[in-house]
Amino acid sequence: MEWLSKVLLTTLLLLSVHTMGAQDEPIVILNETDTIRPTKYIAPLTEKPKLALFQGFTLSADILGPIIYLFSDYGSTEAALRLNLKNTYFPIIEVGYGKCKSTDVETNISYSTSAPFFRAGIDFNILKNKYMDNRLYVGARFGLSSFKFDMSGPNMTDPIWGGSSPYSYHDAKSTSSWMEFVFGVQVKIWRNFHMGWSVRYKQELHIGQPSYAKPYYIPGYGTTTDTSCWGGTYNLIFDLNWGKRKVKSGE
């Protein structure tokens, strides 16, 4: 009897040990070609808090345009108000004032204008990390300027039939529009103050012109020597954090 009880107890212990082992270790079927590799450490996922839609406004001013005007016949000054949505989308309005006063040394034709211009568009932050204060962006603008210009030149003399008259027009009206494609950089300098630059490819859409002259310079666009041109800005930028919430409430 004592022998029987020992056999039963030993059998139960063996069964219980086998069952416990089956619970702790996975059953792995290894082929002969498989090699055992060390398990890679995977850090536990920590979700960044989602950015709130409204991230404040940005106010910027261009300093390149006035500098260009110091060294050439034309230039502009402009400021921009940009809305920050999720640090990703930046609808923007740009308002400026362009000026040109030039006389061609060969033909002696003078052109002058000074007028405001307006642009509206959107920038897109292409940096992967949207939490950074620095930004790399691409964007597009629609530009519009309604302005008056003066153009005058030497008398026009008919070399065959004769006759002469002055070439002089004042307050000629033009409403012109264009598109801009923007690539830019913005870097945080100190607290809410950023600096940055942008390069712009500009394409004429419509040049309003009277029969006697095509406007030589369009405020906000530049000279009309071709149907497209390049431009740029160097911006001083201030983040205005009115009502800004960094993350969504409750997270």
CA distance 105 to 139: 38
Which lies closer to another protein via its Cβ, residue 104 or residue 133? 104
Name the segment binding another protein (CB under 8 A); options: 48-56, 61-69, 105-113, 232-240: 105-113
CA distance 83 to 122: 9
User: Which of residues 67, 154, 175, 189 is near another protein by CB under 8 A?
Assistant: 154
Close Cβ partners of 215 (under 8 Å, ≥ 6 residues apart): 111, 113, 147, 149, 172, 174, 176, 207, 208, 209, 224
For another protein (CB under 8 A), the number of binding residues is 27
The 161-180 contact track toward another protein, x by CB under 8 A, reads xxx-x-x-------------
Name the segment binding another protein (CB under 8 A); options: 62-70, 157-165, 182-190, 198-206: 157-165
Which lies closer to another protein via its Cβ, residue 114 or residue 192? 114
Paired with 240 in beta bridges are 57
Which lies closer to another protein via its Cβ, residue 90 or residue 217? 217
Which lies closer to another protein via its Cβ, residue 153 or residue 208? 153
The values of phi and psi at residue 34, to 5°, are -70, 145
Distance in Å, CB of 130 to another protein, minimum = 37
Paired with 200 in beta bridges are 182, 231
Within 40-69, the residues that bind another protein by CB under 8 A are none
Distance in Å, CB of 100 to another protein, minimum = 11
Structure tokens at 23: 């619970």
3-state SS, one letter per residue, for 124-175 = EECCCCCCCCCEEEEEEEEEEEEEEEEEEEEEEECCCCCCEEEEEEEEEEEE
Which lies closer to another protein via its Cβ, residue 35 or residue 211? 211
CA distance 232 to 15: 81
How many C-beta neighbours within 10 Å does residue 181 have? 14
Within 196-235, the residues that bind another protein by CB under 8 A are 211-214, 216, 224-226
Position 110 contacts another protein (CB under 8 A): yes
Position 102 contacts another protein (CB under 8 A): yes
Contact residues toward another protein (CB under 8 A) are 102-104, 106-107, 109-111, 151, 153-154, 156, 158, 160-163, 165, 167, 211-214, 216, 224-226
